[in-house]
Structure 1
Amino acid sequence: MSTARFDELIHAPTRLSLVSLLAATEWAEFRYLREQLGLSDSALSKQLATLEQAGYVEVRKSFVGKRPRTSVQLSRDGRRAFDGHVAALQQIVAQAGASVLP
């Protein structure tokens, strides 16, 4: 089980959605991520750059014929950070449920 740790970088709504998608896949293509999240190319690129700088994702660029193809994978550090963030959110929800009066 992961150590619960709230992660401000991941918690931003767009990045949380992005990391959640990546957590469910081995590698995801840029186009797939863009379509699933409803982001522009530039907005997705910015979010990926932020996550890459933090060491949370690995970006692989290749070509299929003459067309560039970008694929993204959650790194080990990214997986640990995501799992810890989810654990922290679960603790918050559990505490809120425990404090509800009948």
Structure 2
Amino acid sequence: MSKQPSNAAGRYGGEEFAVILPHASLSKAAAAAEAIRLNIEALAIPHRLSPAANGITVRVGAAIAIPQPNELAETLLSLADQALYRAKQNGCNRVEIACRARG
């Protein structure tokens, strides 16, 4: 993930985190999401109770959109939630990206 001064990361909800990358292109956002996934996987933290994997992995739902005038932040969060839901449906240890076209 690029270390731009405007980038931020933090816990969002019980098991979820948000990473904010203002002005990131689709390719940079996807690369950042994949880097997060790979770094978590590389930690090789054992997960003895998981039938799916030997170690802890993550599913990442990412969203990119150009904000519209008077648009609430919840709109982007909803887009990211939709991507996360797709990631949960499609399997473990994966990234799904939602991209809303302008307008």
Asked if TM exceeds 0.5, the reply is no
Higher relative contact order (CA 8 A, sep 6+): 1
**Greater fraction of residues in helix:** 1
